[in-house]
Chain A
């Protein structure tokens, strides 16, 4: 049923784990369903926009744009506080050391073929000290500090280090990255002194590889009717398809979102189709 060109991501696999039907509707049928994901929409949108802007500010800083000019763009007080925390705590240097040979790359995308399908991951920042360390830094802009135990279970934590080891050699001067070199760090700008540090090793790598292969194979083998609804009804409170599946009316409240039902970050895409000028009818 899966088209050969289908690509998996941490978000799509996380959706599958949460509810196979949601995965089917969103990624296979690509069903557009504009119901609210969470209430109040206004506050959710504000937080999503802030998250996106913060990611961009860090990328700008990494590219060499002067910090003072970047800071001028932080109009929201919470965003300004996050940015100032970032400037004070300097997570990139504090977690990766000051080794002269270390190189940092922001907004890196890696992909590999697993069980005949592409698996794609977009990293906020990767710092590699060739032959020694490879640190994955991920900015978590939620307003709660998620525990390590929950983060460990997230698809992102399993996929990002795995893919880096699997196909990240180009970032390590062409040499394979050993699992023990890798550390995944979630840094919370709202909780700057409480990062979640998750080391990696060969066992994790082996288990994650087998897990991802099995999971993708399982999805690939599923027939249309196999994508069942989740039995965890709380998932439906934070799912746009709840009316499509007859699983409720109003969206759940943002303040009640717990880590287990964490919303996907960065979904707000301010992107405008600037290429549409090329699509004008002759």
Chain B
């Protein structure tokens, strides 16, 4: 298998009987997924037809090792292994078996095709439903969060109902049952409930399926429909389910009943994980899949951590492990089984090992800490020949300003850097703004009047090499809004001295753009995505224009066209559309509902580059590195969770009894457990050394003394006292 030598334990899993259902567990870094990939290869080499094999993971990034293996020329020819998620399976089955269940589910147009919503189009419909309630009936007037976060939390509640498996009508009761504060919050929960049900009714009336409805239709209807279930269980007779601890109870329920029918199964469980609990992950129900398996294997030996990193992990585990006195409630979300016992610090390399593994940079101000981080990275790359790709810089939340500060500093010293997402949302890209401004100019009937600043910017980006001064001058002269409608006047109507200042080269290009727009205005308006496609192909990407051979502009334009197209497909046939769709799209962009996401990779990532990422994102990429830098170790962000006034991921989980009050003690235990889980997860993905970036004051200027800092201090105090004792 691509030159990887498997351990005897891995080999035993890979080559287990072809009729065996195995439950494999262990902490991160013990080679479980490698064994899973080897198992897949073994099945294929054993002439199990590839199309009988299903590999499930909770999200696509976790399936990468399987994809990589399947693309290898060594993979036997024949059919193709299906690698997907339960969500992916749900979508495919709904598409195929829609005519069988549409009516039964309650869709009011069962003869029409289903319309699958993306996260942003779901937000769009939620905005349509909730906005009148906010503006006319005073919904959520006691909360101060951004509207888009409000919409996403209502959607999140629906998603939780679907993936946990309770009716969406119970959301409000469950949230209120756990609440013991003022009545205002209870009213907010009632309003969130009402919005969720209105949204669901709207979806059923218009054949719209957001993520929650896709999961509910699959789990509650299609999985019970013999034609669909037989199709799945007869097609896939060998199952590998990796990272089950990150998947949801409903996914576990489905696989629980599926495992009984397969010829072979391998279920892989990562101890101490469950990082996606925010999205409904439930390690407890995942661990129950063990009941259906014939054998259980536990991997203990880490292939990642050095001895001293193992000792560091043990030290963190000791100081962060929540203590639950007898008779008290256990932490609300926990592992099904205790974390696999890690070696004690002293038993591996002793405290000296920890000291060699943990490096500090304690500075007064935040920017000084960043300088220290960059200097250390520079030293690693220049002096110790470390690969930039083997270094990751982590923070609990990576703000845009923090990312920019770090990336800028690293670029300055010539170290390549990559981030978990592009620096700008689609709507903020200059190419997007240029295209949308030109769209507004081409559609006066939309009655959208771009500002002179927007027109200047659009001209500057649309016309190759047009500088800001000339663009401003040109816009000032030619952009003449008339009776509330945008108008561009011809270049040859400009006074000759101004023409010369702008130059005839730029004037010619401007004129080509203007006449193209003017010609378009004489015809019947096209759908916005078709308009953008033509504008891009016939003008902006032609020689002399700003997008010519610019691959980044091409990518941004392609994503915009795709976003508009999806928007048109989901909303074109709704009877209550009174405004042109193009205008509606621009309006939604302006409000930040649409084109605000980072849905696709912006560009090919440079792999050998320092990664800047939020800690949880790094954990879910499941890729160990040699060196980790943890920023703002004194910050509370490592311990706190997001402010979510309309939802509660743990109260809405299957682990929380309906009606049980969520207390401060529960909240504290949850945070403590979360910190332990996070820190151990990071350490288990580190091969050589952890660098702790500390500053007395945070990025915002507040003093920092969070629990992670407390844990580090405890470890150091213990180290010093033991050293003093020697």
CA–CA, A60 to B93, complex, Å? 10
| Given A32-B559, A34-B561, A272-B118, A279 and B59 contact (CB-CB distance below 8 Å) | yes
Which residues from chain A sit less than 8 Å from chain B, CB to CB? 4-7, 29-36, 41-42, 53, 56, 59-60, 63-66, 69-70, 72-73, 75, 108-113, 116-118, 120, 166-170, 174, 240, 242-244, 246, 249-251, 270, 272-282
- Docked-complex contact A110 and B80, CB < 8 angstroms: yes
CB distance from B35 to the nearest CB of A (A): 21
| Given A34-B533, A34-B558, A281-B617, A109 and B279 contact (CB-CB distance below 8 Å) | no
CA–CA, A212 to B134, complex, Å? 63
Name the B residues within 8 Å of A272 (CB-CB). 116-118, 566
The yes or no answer to B214 lying at the interface (CB within 8 A) is yes
- Docked-complex contact B96 and A59, CB < 8 angstroms: yes
Name the A residues within 8 Å of B566 (CB-CB). 272
| Given A60-B99, A272-B566, A277-B279, A169 and B111 contact (CB-CB distance below 8 Å) | no
Name the A residues within 8 Å of B227 (CB-CB). 63-65
Name the B residues within 8 Å of A41 (CB-CB). 526, 530, 533-534
CB distance from B62 to the nearest CB of A (A): 9
- Docked-complex contact B211 and A274, CB < 8 angstroms: yes
| Given A118-B73, A278-B60, A34 and B557 contact (CB-CB distance below 8 Å) | yes
Name the B residues within 8 Å of A32 (CB-CB). 554-555, 557-559
- Docked-complex contact B113 and A73, CB < 8 angstroms: yes
Name the A residues within 8 Å of B538 (CB-CB). 35, 243, 249-250
- Docked-complex contact A69 and B99, CB < 8 angstroms: yes
| Given A35-B536, A70-B99, A275 and B47 contact (CB-CB distance below 8 Å) | no
- Docked-complex contact B541 and A35, CB < 8 angstroms: yes
The yes or no answer to B159 lying at the interface (CB within 8 A) is yes
CB distance from A52 to the nearest CB of B (A): 11
CB distance from A107 to the nearest CB of B (A): 9
Q: Size class of B's contact patch?
A: 35 or more
The yes or no answer to B276 lying at the interface (CB within 8 A) is yes
Among candidates B90, B278, B569, residue contacting A270 with C-beta atoms closer than 8 Å: B569
Name the B residues within 8 Å of A270 (CB-CB). 569
- Docked-complex contact A278 and B96, CB < 8 angstroms: no
| Given A34-B558, A36-B533, A243 and B548 contact (CB-CB distance below 8 Å) | yes
CA–CA, A36 to B536, complex, Å? 9
Name the A residues within 8 Å of B110 (CB-CB). 72
Name the A residues within 8 Å of B4 (CB-CB). none
Q: Mark B196-216, 1 if CB is under 8 A from A, else 0.
A: 000000000000000100100
- Docked-complex contact A109 and B118, CB < 8 angstroms: no
- Docked-complex contact A274 and B116, CB < 8 angstroms: yes
Instruction: For B68, give the chain A residue with the smallest CB separation.
Output: A5
- Docked-complex contact B111 and A278, CB < 8 angstroms: no
CA–CA, A56 to B114, complex, Å? 13
CA–CA, A120 to B51, complex, Å? 13
CA–CA, A117 to B68, complex, Å? 13
- Docked-complex contact B79 and A108, CB < 8 angstroms: yes
| Given A63-B227, A118-B73, A72 and B99 contact (CB-CB distance below 8 Å) | yes
The yes or no answer to B326 lying at the interface (CB within 8 A) is no
Instruction: For B2, give the chain A residue with the smallest CB separation.
Output: A4
| Given A36-B537, A73-B113, A75-B112, A167 and B78 contact (CB-CB distance below 8 Å) | yes
16 interchain pairs (CB within 8 A)? A32-B554, A34-B562, A35-B533, A64-B227, A65-B97, A66-B99, A72-B99, A75-B112, A111-B78, A170-B51, A174-B47, A244-B554, A249-B538, A274-B88, A275-B85, A277-B211
CA–CA, A42 to B116, complex, Å? 21
Which chain B residues (28-62) contact chain A, with CB distance < 8 Å?
47, 49, 51, 58-60
Which residues from chain B sit less than 8 Å from chain A, CB to CB? 47, 49, 51, 58-60, 68, 71-75, 77-80, 85, 87-88, 90-91, 95-100, 110-113, 116-119, 159, 211, 214, 227, 231, 275-276, 278-279, 420-421, 526-527, 530, 532-534, 536-538, 541-543, 548-549, 551, 554-555, 557-562, 566, 569, 597, 599-600, 604, 614, 616-617, 642
Name the A residues within 8 Å of B557 (CB-CB). 32, 34
| Given A41-B530, A73-B99, A249-B542, A169 and B78 contact (CB-CB distance below 8 Å) | yes
Instruction: For B91, give the chain A residue with the smallest CB separation.
Output: A274
Among candidates B98, B118, B555, residue contacting A276 with C-beta atoms closer than 8 Å: B118
Name the B residues within 8 Å of A250 (CB-CB). 537-538
Name the B residues within 8 Å of A59 (CB-CB). 96
CB distance from B543 to the nearest CB of A (A): 6
CB distance from B246 to the nearest CB of A (A): 9
Name the A residues within 8 Å of B98 (CB-CB). 73
Instruction: For A112, give the chain B residue with the smallest CB separation.
Output: B77
- Docked-complex contact A63 and B77, CB < 8 angstroms: no
Name the A residues within 8 Å of B47 (CB-CB). 170, 174
CA–CA, A243 to B553, complex, Å? 13
| Given A32-B558, A59-B96, A275 and B59 contact (CB-CB distance below 8 Å) | yes
Among candidates A4, A65, A278, residue contacting B58 with C-beta atoms closer than 8 Å: A278
| Given A32-B555, A272-B566, A65 and B99 contact (CB-CB distance below 8 Å) | yes
CA–CA, A170 to B235, complex, Å? 13
- Docked-complex contact B159 and A277, CB < 8 angstroms: yes
Among candidates A6, A75, A111, residue contacting B80 with C-beta atoms closer than 8 Å: A111
| Given A36-B537, A73-B112, A274-B116, A31 and B551 contact (CB-CB distance below 8 Å) | yes
| Given A36-B533, A113-B77, A167-B77, A243 and B117 contact (CB-CB distance below 8 Å) | no
Name the A residues within 8 Å of B72 (CB-CB). 4-5
CB distance from B313 to the nearest CB of A (A): 22
- Docked-complex contact B73 and A282, CB < 8 angstroms: no
Name the A residues within 8 Å of B58 (CB-CB). 278
